Amino acid sequence: MHQPDLLNLQQESGPPKWAPHMNYPYGAVVFYAGTYWRSEGNHTSRNEPEGAPTNNLSLWTPVGSSGGYPTHTQQQQQQQQQYQAQSSYFPQQHLQQQSYSPQQGYYGQSQPPSYSPHSPAQAPGYPQQGYHASSSSSSNLYAASPQYSNHQSSSSSSSEKNDTPSSGETVTNEKGLSSSTSFFSEKANESLRYLTMKKESNDVNDKDELKHELKGRRIWRTGGIGVWAYSENAKEEELKKKLWKDWSDDHDAKDWAKIAKERKDFYEKESKGVKPLFTWKLVEKGQRLPSDALPIGHEQDGAVLYAARSWWEGGIHLGKAGHHLNSGASISYGGAEITLDTYEILCGPINEPYLVKWMSYRHGEVATVQGWQPIEGGREKDGTALLLAKGDYENGQHPGKCLINDDHACVGYGGGELWVRPFSILAYANPDRR
């Protein structure tokens, strides 16, 4: 049983009852406290009473109890009109969903998942970005409202902690600009991101830069580059493995958490510089999950699961997190499911539908990486790269981990560590766009 598509569900049988731990997209309509409510932004609902629509008027608008709510067909027409208007200025965003087989390559194009290119402005205090996993198929991508703009200027300064753009950079606030001006501004910012990535791709060959990352002195501005990113280049990968092993031998969980906090502070600091499109953000005991946490899977009952990682036995291991989990997160290790209250969670405010993709492996196929870049994952104690994976089990879809050349993913469930097949690995949709 996969998590239902709420927009399709309300078309078939009327609005469902509001429920906690559900990923509600913009425009979804639910029934609660004797009336219908419309979601005004992508979000994951919390427990009652704090998460109920009646206590979140910035997220929910009452639309009456007599059935006067917008129909699915009307929503589709509105979204189609908005999408066509956007496509006239951004034809390159009219993309098709792709799936992958290691032997067959890319194949089969289908309709992209439903999304709203221009959701209305969010109420004050509510994040502008959000995610809705419109289907739990392992080859499906994410649908999101592209309001967040992370195409920002970059500094080429040697100090990664200095987030001030150089004097030669031009940073444009796209709010209120004409479509043509926004188009050229976005292209300029894309060029800055591309140049930053090329520079950092060269920097990663310097072992001192990787050491600085492990010490918290350097934070990469683009993804898929540093110690946590698997490299197809065998020489780079061996260097990363050795540096991690040497560092982890002399450090512990407290050292890791301190550096992870510095990364989170850097990511969340307001700036005009380029930052990674996808980031791991530290969550400490008692803290709420970040508002831009990226939904990865779901429990049998539909509760949303996120990708998590944490220090354990000298390595950084991947698992899952959720609002409904007692400790907050868990990882699988040595045949057991380990619960944790301090961990990092994968976040990704995106401004276009297809920045990531799932690379799927069937029964009997081993995980190989050829010509694509996995999202940053973790490391075993000996430095071996761990990739972010997911697999189906007991009518749920669970985030976990996978080693290169393994024929399975490992997920934690019911206190144990399970091997699941088939499985998928999360990757950047375009290695030059991250």
Quick one: fold of 1-104? Answer: Seminal Fluid Protein  PDC-109 (Domain B) (2.10.10)
Specify the range with the lowest mean pLDDT, choosing from 37-41, 168-172, 215-219. Answer: 168-172
State the Cα–Cα distance between residues 74 and 83, nearest whole angstrom: 14
Q: 33-64: buried (b, 16+ CB within 10 Å) or exposed (e) per residue?
A: eeebbbbbbbbbbbeeeebbbeebeebbeebe
Instruction: List, in sequence order, the alpha helices (H) in 91-178.
Output: none
pLDDT of 270 reads: 82
pLDDT of 388 reads: 97
Q: Region 50-63: what's the mean pLDDT?
A: 86
SS (H, E, C) 370-388: CCCCECCCEECCCCCEEEE
Asked if pLDDT for residue 393 goes beyond 60, the answer is: yes
Calculate the alpha carbon distances from 75 to 4, 6, 27 in Å.
18, 12, 7
Q: What are phi and psi of 371, to 5 degrees?
A: 80, 10
Specify the range with the lowest mean pLDDT, choosing from 147-156, 330-339, 411-420. Answer: 147-156
Q: Which residue has the higher pLDDT, 187 or 323?
A: 323
What residue spans in the chain does CATH classification 2.10.10.20 cover?
A: 1-104
> DSSP readout, 58-81?
TTEEEEESSS-S--HHHHHHHHHH
Q: Is the whole-model pTM more than 0.75?
A: no
Asked if pLDDT for residue 79 goes beyond 50, the answer is: no
For 213-261, write each residue's pLDDT tens digit.
999 999 999 999 999 999 999 999 999 999 999 999 999 999 999 999 9
pLDDT of 130 reads: 32
Model confidence band, residue 5 (pLDDT cutoffs 50, 70, 90): very low
For 349-392, write each residue's pLDDT tens digit.
655 547 889 999 998 899 999 889 999 999 999 999 999 999 99
Q: 386-395: buried (b, 16+ CB within 10 Å) or exposed (e) per residue?
A: bbbbbbbbee
